[in-house]
Amino acid sequence: MAQIDPTAIVSSEAAIASDVVIGAWSIVGPNVTIGAGTVIGPFMRIEGPVTIGERNRFFGQASVGTEPQDLKFKGERTELVIGNDNVFREFVTLNRGTVGGGGITTIGSSNFFMAYSHVAHDCHVGDNTIFANNATLAGHVEVGDYATVGAFSAVHQFCRVGDHAFIGGATICTQDVLPYVKTVGSRPAKSYGINHIGLERKGFQKETIEALQRAYRILVRSKLRLEDALMRIESELGYSAEAQYMAEFVRGAKRGFIR
């Protein structure tokens, strides 16, 4: 049987794995699924429809699956889906999607959310990301794998954060954030080159980092027109999948990108 504190309120319409732990004074509503090995701390609030995978850890005082903070929301059925092995610290807030945004908010696996971080409606977070304290996503934001969002940073709605991007503390991102790159600052934020130390720590080869540095210089530091810079990256760095991804990421930018 699941270990449910006697003060917790768990809906009979929730599906709870047999080894889930639910702490004191937590509330789990209907249409909530919680996978094996997950620990729900005290004073939690989980509203469905929500699907939570396996071995997740919620430290408590968090709000999960609540209605989107969107004036257009009229009570439609939308959902939040969370993968496996994530850590959510105190006072994290995770909202469900909206019909206009596809109806679903998704969070992958092996992510670490520090206290007071926020994921708004219709966001899609990949795997192995880090959200520092008070990191905030507005609606419809996409965050790639292994990205880091620094403390007190905010990402504007409909923006994208690329794989392995590093956003420094107190940064305001109103355009897409380049993958592999350090981005820091408030209105305007600026990029400060490839995060070579972080990439080295993650096991990236020297040749890959050098290719990314070349791609960054062509894209940001050269005086080429954007299309010419992208064509040069694609032609000169075709051997690097990471450099090609950077070029593809920029081509898909609808709000522009932070240089």
Residues forming a β-bridge with 39:
21, 57
- Choose, from 29, 97, 139, 144, the residue flagged as catalytic: 139
41 classed as catalytic: no
156 classed as catalytic: no
SS3 37: coil
Residues 180, 161: contact at Cβ < 8 Å?
no
Write out 62-106 in H/E/C secondary structure.
CEEEECCCCCCCCCCCCEEEECCCCEECCCCEEECCCHHHCCEEE
196 classed as catalytic: no
Residues 166, 185: contact at Cβ < 8 Å?
no
Write down the residue that tokens 């520092």 correspond to.
132
- Choose, from 29, 41, 60, 121, the residue flagged as catalytic: 121
- Choose, from 29, 108, 122, 124, the residue flagged as catalytic: 122
Q: What's phi and psi for 128, nearest 5 deg?
A: 60, 35
- Residue 139 CA to residue 80 CA, distance in Å, equals 13
Catalytic residues: 121-122, 139
